[in-house]
Amino acid sequence: MQEKPPITTPVIISRAEHGISRANISESALKVLYRLKKSGYQSHLVGGGVRDLLLGREPKDFDVATDATPEQVKACFGNARIIGRRFRLVHVRFGREIIEVATFRSMQFQQSEQSNEGMVLRDNEFGSIEEDALRRDFTVNALYYNISDFSVIDYSGGMADLEAGLLRLLGDPETRYREDPVRMLRAARFAAKLGFNIEAATEEPISRLGHLLAEVPSARLYEEVLKLFISGYAVSAFEKLRHYDLFSRLFPQTEEALSHEDHEFPLTLVLKGLENTDRRLAQGKPVTPAFLFAVLLWEPLRLVAEELQAGGMPFYQALQEAGGLVIGRQIQRVAIPRRFSTPMREIWTLQARFHNTKGKRPLRLLAHPRFRAAYDFLLLRAESGEVDPELASWWTRFQEEQGLDPSGGSHKPAARRRRRRKPRKKRSSA
C-alpha cells in the first residue's frame, strides 16, 4: 500500500459540521486560547483533545498550538514556565491543571541535531501552522480547533481516518519512527485506547524497529508506561505491545520469563493484575504505579528468588535479594522512581510473611502500612493458581474476625479494650 500523500490545502470544517462544544473544553484551556487570541497570536486546540472531543470522549488533557514563541507565551501568563530542551514548551498552571502550549514547529531542522539512527535530539525551529500539522505524528492528532471561528482545520485527512477508525502516520513511517521511537509505543497505545486499526504501512516497521527504544531515556519510557497501563485499557495495551514485540523492549526480564513458562500461572497473574487495574480505574478508585510494577516484575523476581532458595537462602531473604537484582536490571530500560520501588519491594517481601498464621504474627502483619496492597497481591497469586487459595481465604477471614473489611475498609487493627483496674480498698485507719 502506497503512502497517502499529505493534503496541503486544508479542509475547513465549520462549527455547524462538527460536534465540538466549548462546554466540553476545560475552562483553563479556554482562558489560554482566548488570551493568546486577544494578544494577537494564532490560537488553536490541537492533538488528542480535539480527537477525543470529535469522538465524543472526555479528554484527559488539552494542548494548545500557537505562532507565539515560548518567550512570548510566557509573557502573556504570570503562571507559566518554559520547559524542555529537546522540545521547548510552555506550561501554564491553573491549580492542579496544566495547559501545555507549543509553538508551531518547522519542517526544517538541523541534521546535526539528529542521532546516528535518525532520532531528533533537538527541535526548536519554529514555522507555520501548515508545517506544524505535517510534523504531527498521526493524522487523527493533526486536527486544529480554531478559537477564532470555532472551526476544525484538517491538513492531513485526519477527519476521514477518524471516521474510518484508522491510525496513519504522517510522512514515511520508518523515518518518523527513527525521528522519535516513542511513536511506536503511541501507535500501540492509541490502537488499544481507541479500538482503531493501524494502517498497513504504519504498522509494518514496528516489529523490526523496536530496538530503537534503547535510545530513549529511561525516565521518558517510565512516563509512557504509565500512559499505557494506568489509563483504563491496560489489558489491551499489553496485548498490543506483545503483538508488536515492544513489551520485550520495556520489560525484557518479564518477557523472558513469560516466553519460557511451563504453565499458565505467570501470564494469568499479569493479566489479572492488569484487569484489576482497569477495573479500579473504571470504578474511580486510585491506582499506584508501585502495585503495577510489582505485578509486571513478579515472575522474574520469583525465578531469581527460587535460585537463591536452592542455594539455602530463606524465602524472605531471597525475596529481598531478588528484588534488588530485578529492579537494578529493570531501571536500565524503564526508570522506576524510588517512591514507588520501595513500596513495591515491600509488597513482594510481605508475601513471605503471609505464611505465618500462628501466634501474634498475623496481628503485626495486619498493622503494616503495606498490608492492603500486599494482601491484594496475595489474592492475585491465589486467583492465578500460584499459591493455595486457602491461604488467601484464611487472611480474608482473619480480617473479618478483627472487624475489618477485606474489600477495602479500614486496615488498622481494632484497638483492644484495656481492662479497668478495680480500685484498691482503702485500709481502715483503726
Active-site residue list:
61, 63, 137
- In degrees, rounded to 5, the angle at the alpha carbon of residue 30 between the alpha carbons of residues 231 and 160 is 60
Question: What cell was used for 277?
Answer: 487495574
Q: What 3 state SS string does the chain have?
A: CCCCCCCCCCEEECHHHCCCCHHHCCHHHHHHHHHHHHCCCCEEEECHHHHHHHCCCCCCCCEEEECCCHHHHHHHCCCEEEECCCCCEEEEEECCEEEEEEECECCCCCHHHECCCCCECCCCCECCHHHHHHHCCEHHHCEEEECCCCEEEECCCHHHHHHHCEECECCCHHHHHHHCCHHHHHHHHHHHHHCCEECHHHHCCHHHHHHHHHHCCHHHHHHHHHHHHCCCCHHHHHHHHHHCCCHHHHCHHHHHHHHCCCCCHHHHHHHHHHHHHHHHHHCCCCCCHHHHHHHHHHHHHHHHHHHHHHCCCCHHHHHHHHHHHHHHHHCCCCCCCHHHHHHHHHHHHHHHHCCCCCCCHHHHHHCCCCHHHHHHHHHHHHHCCCCCHHHHHHHHHHHHHCCCCCCCCCCCCCCCCCCCCCCCCCCCCC
Q: Are the CB atoms for 159 and 152 separated by under 8 Å?
A: yes
Identify the CA nearest to 304 among candidates 324, 278, 274, 277.
Answer: 324
Identify the burial level of 217 via C-beta atoms within 10 angstroms of its C-beta, where 0-12 means exposed, 13-18 middle and 19 or more buried: exposed
Q: Say how far residue 395 (Cα) sits from the centre of its chain.
A: 31
Asked if 10 contacts 28 with a C-beta cutoff of 8 angstroms, the reply is: no
